[in-house]
Chains A and B, each alone.
Chain A
Amino acid sequence: MTDLRVNGRPVQVDAPDDEPLLWVLRDDLALPGTRYGCGAGYCGSCTVLLDGTAVRSCQTPLSVAAGREVRTVDAAPAPRSVAAHVRDALLEHQVPQCGWCMSGWQMQLTATLEATPDVDDTTLIAGLDANLCRCGTYARLRRAATDAARRVRAGADEDAT
């Protein structure tokens, strides 16, 4: 049995140590939000946050996640959180087509904006080359990403005053 925390809750998993976290989440814990695209670290669809850092869960053995906090898209983000701004921006710009890649983008953008809320648009947009979207939603992704960053900055200003 391996103990870890997923979206704020403690869970116990009976799976081999080398089982990729991706399949532990999807098949053992029935959390379908984290997606398989390549199983080899190339596409980013399976991105989750491990103690706040974006990792590719297809390349993360369960043993590495043991005792740590995993965040996925399956739990609704807290209102006004970075994750909520990211999701809202993706929805408002109607970014997804098939939607399969979108969990990866959500977690990747959330990690970036949590770590560097004042990231400039050029850096943010350059970072979009890390993941793949076969439907080709990239133009809308750029708009949604910069918009989410604006919301995060505006939220931070609000909190400061």
Chain B
Amino acid sequence: MSPRLTRRGFLIGTAAVGAGVWVGWRFGVPAGRLAIARVLDGASPPGGIDAPPDAWIEVGEGGVTLYLAKVEMGQGIHTALAQIAAEELEWPLARLAVRSAPTDRGLNDRNGTGASASVSGSWGPLREAAALTREMLRAAAADAWGVDVAGVVADQGRLLHRDRPDEALAYEDVAGRLDPDAVPDELPPFKAKGAYREIGRARPRVDLADKLAGTGGYGLDARMEGMRYGAVARPPRLGARLTAAAAGGAREVPGVTDVVLEDGFAGVVATRRSAAEKGVAALDLTWEGPETPVTQEAVEAATTVRGDDDPGAGVVVQREGDPTRDLRRRTDVRAEFRTAMAAHAHLEPQAALVHVTDGGVEAYVATQSPTLVRDLLAEATGLERDAVSVTATWLGGGFGRRLNVEVATDAARLSRAAGVPVHVAWTREEEFRHGYLRPPVHNVLEARLEDGRVAAWRHRQASGDVAFPFLPAAAQPLLGADFGAWRGATSPYGGMARRATVAERVELPVPTGWWRGLGLLPNVFATESFLDELAAAAGADPLAFRLAHLNEEEDDVQRRLAAVLRAAAEAADWDAPLPEGRGRGVAASVDVGTCVAQVTEASFVDGAPVLHRVVVAVDPGVVVNPDGVRQQVEGSVAWGVSSLLHEEVRIEDGRVGPANFDTYAFARASDVPDVEVVILEGDDVPHGMGEPPLGPVAASIANAVVAAGGPRARHLPARWT
């Protein structure tokens, strides 16, 4: 492989492959995460020249294949990235093969697939790699014809020359002439927006026909010759440790082939799943601890903003002026909000097929982080990272749960002991009881009004951990507060004279972590509900009140946020009179650079909201696939509705209470409204879409309920009484 840095600092690598080449790129590391990445991987600075590329475009006799390290979990990322690549490659999208990249091909993505960052992070480097590949193809055709490259045109998989109208070459024809060392020095200019054929078009998803036909591409579907099935014992209570283990009656269970008892670990391998599960049930296990069982009351009591008693509590994550002094003199409005713990409930449980041999590991895993899983498997088996190949499968939902997966190491331990490939899939009960949860959150908001405007605004929030459990301890002081916990907590309204946001860390005896949008939904539920209470106190229209606090000349974000607010309001006929008993609510937020506003029309009947109309306006920057944008808005609205109406995990008997969907409710079809989506396309770069629309959902509905004469929701899920 010959690696080099392009002008813009992305690593490009090329390699010969049969009759063709690979051209690869490395994902750019967003500046904000650079420090974290450095801490996480002290060995090599991100983007370093020694680092192998993250994904490859392969041009060969069979056409063009795109190998992606970004994982398809339902967000349509393989389609969006294929559109971006096809655009600069001048290769027809319908003929672009898209594959999940195994880690042993030098395909690494330390960020994993999450944080709505896949399109924004790939946008620059993927276009560069595609454009460079196209230039190499043009050069190869010029070489074949003995002409100047300037006259060669690449067009939808064919290479054309004005003087040779009957001699068009297919990309496949010149693949054998591609020289991996002849990467052009100058990066060719990208296509002008007006010339786009793929970017900005509502292309159908590349994976849906196969998914509807039931072809096996998910983690639970992975198969290998001679494979068996594994199951692992789980603690009966939060905080319990396995202190003694014996086989008990497990070996007598028909179908059980291996009982694996290692330090703190007990598992069974069998010829079928049900036998493995019965085998685990027959093990003789002793669990000890914790001294004090975890209780729901203790979790709730801990999740409380301490700032009133301890003014130094927490980390200031936003401050303009000193609102605290103002508020001490006079606070006009104060409100509190709480968000319950919640589960991911991705419908396909985590699953992995792993084969450990002396020489290496082959693994197919439903994970958002194949590179992290590779490192974990290397650690678990004592093999070199290079000897471990992890291929991410399709995921039946990710939502942050699969940024960290335990199932691959389970399968690796069992495979190593049994000497055969072992497939482990968690049961629904394991998913509920032994994963990590959305942390509980408490928000306290205070404001002082002057002349109908916010003169001082203070938001203090206390949250269980989100990102911290997954970062090395050294990263915590570097970051100050957990960026996942305070995501969405700061105020984008520059027109508030003085404002501050303080994040307090709550350490809980319950595992908490990544969950779609991280703190976005709870924090925006609190801030945008509170803003409506301030508008009411000021006697102002909620929409006008928001617009009055956005300094549109000050920065681009405030301008774009005002634009989505106006667009949503206009599409939802904000000023049109409503029938008796109906109300409209608005809310807005900014997340990963994407601006979103939602207007909901609701009534409040028999103690519950009825949603008559939902309009969402979104500005995600460049739109790669408008139908993909709509899908993500629709899915986010469903998630927000679900959190507002239903979702709650409580601790019972020292463990996570719900074990299945009978005791954990999430939105069904009749809960979820149709959504009208207005897309305002910014023209700079694409931002994220997987999480940002989740921001305003709960607050917009809660505000509509109040406008309709109902009570103010103070909890997620809402207790309307």
Q: Chain A interface (Cβ within 8 Å of chain B)? A: 15-16, 19-20, 23, 26-28, 30-40, 42-43, 45, 72-74, 76, 87, 90-91, 94, 96-103, 106, 125-126, 128-129, 132-142
Contact = CB atoms under 8 A, between A and B. Distances in A.
Nearest to B209: A91
B204 A94 contact: yes
A140 B642 CA distance: 17
Contacts of A102: 211-212
Contacts, number: 165
Interface in B658-703: 660-662, 666-675
A133 B348 CA distance: 11
Contact of A136 (B395, B428, B642): B642
B395 A98 contact: yes
A136 B356 CA distance: 37
Given A87-B212, A90-B212, A106-B212, A135 B274 contact: no
How many chain B residues sit at the interface, stated as a range, is 35 or more
Contacts of B635: 97, 135-137
A138 B638 contact: yes
A35 B627 CA distance: 26
Interface string B320-346: 000000000000000000000000011
19 contacts: A19-B272, A23-B272, A26-B220, A35-B396, A36-B220, A40-B428, A73-B214, A96-B211, A99-B207, A100-B397, A106-B212, A126-B670, A129-B669, A129-B670, A132-B347, A133-B669, A135-B74, A138-B638, A138-B667
Contacts of B207: 99
B272 A98 contact: no
A138 B672 contact: yes
B662 A96 contact: no
Nearest to A16: B274
A36 B74 contact: no
Interface of B: 73-76, 204-205, 207-209, 211-216, 218, 220-221, 223, 229, 254, 272-274, 345-349, 394-399, 425, 427-428, 627, 631, 634-639, 642, 660-662, 666-675
Contact of A129 (B75, B394, B637, B668): B668
Contact of A39 (B213, B214, B345, B427): B427
Given A98-B394, A100-B396, A138-B669, 4 more contacts: A23-B274, A73-B212, A100-B346, A132-B668
B512 to A, nearest CB: 19
Q: Which residue of B73, B213, B637, B666 has the most chain A CB atoms within 10 A of its CB atom?
A: B213
B397 A134 contact: yes
Given A42-B660, A96-B211, A134 B272 contact: no
B126 to A, nearest CB: 22
B212 A45 contact: no
A142 B661 CA distance: 22
A26 B675 CA distance: 36
Contact of A140 (B348, B634, B667): B634
Contact of B634 (A15, A101, A137): A137
A92 to B, nearest CB: 9
B206 to A, nearest CB: 11
Contact of A32 (B215, B637, B642): B215
B70 to A, nearest CB: 15
Contacts of B272: 15, 19, 23, 27-28
A27 B273 contact: yes
Given A16-B274, A38-B428, A73-B212, A101 B347 contact: yes
B397 A136 contact: no
A33 B214 contact: yes
A98 B669 contact: no
A23 B278 CA distance: 15
Contact of B74 (A39, A98, A141): A98
A42 B664 CA distance: 11
Question: Top 3 closest A-B pairs, CB basis?
Answer: A33-B214, A136-B638, A98-B74
Contacts of B213: 33, 73-74, 76, 87
Q: Which residue of A40, A42, A73, A134 has the most chain B CB atoms within 10 A of its CB atom?
A: A134
Contacts of B398: 98
Contact of B212 (A23, A43, A72, A91): A91
Given A38-B660, A136-B672, A98 B212 contact: no
Contacts of B223: 30
Contacts of B673: 139
A135 B397 contact: yes
Nearest to A36: B220
A149 to B, nearest CB: 15
B670 A74 contact: no
Contacts of B674: 139, 142
A132 B214 contact: no
B74 A19 contact: no
Nearest to B667: A136
A103 B631 contact: no
Nearest to B662: A42
A134 B672 CA distance: 12
A40 B347 contact: no
A94 B626 CA distance: 12
Contacts of B215: 32-33
A139 B81 CA distance: 26
Nearest to B398: A98
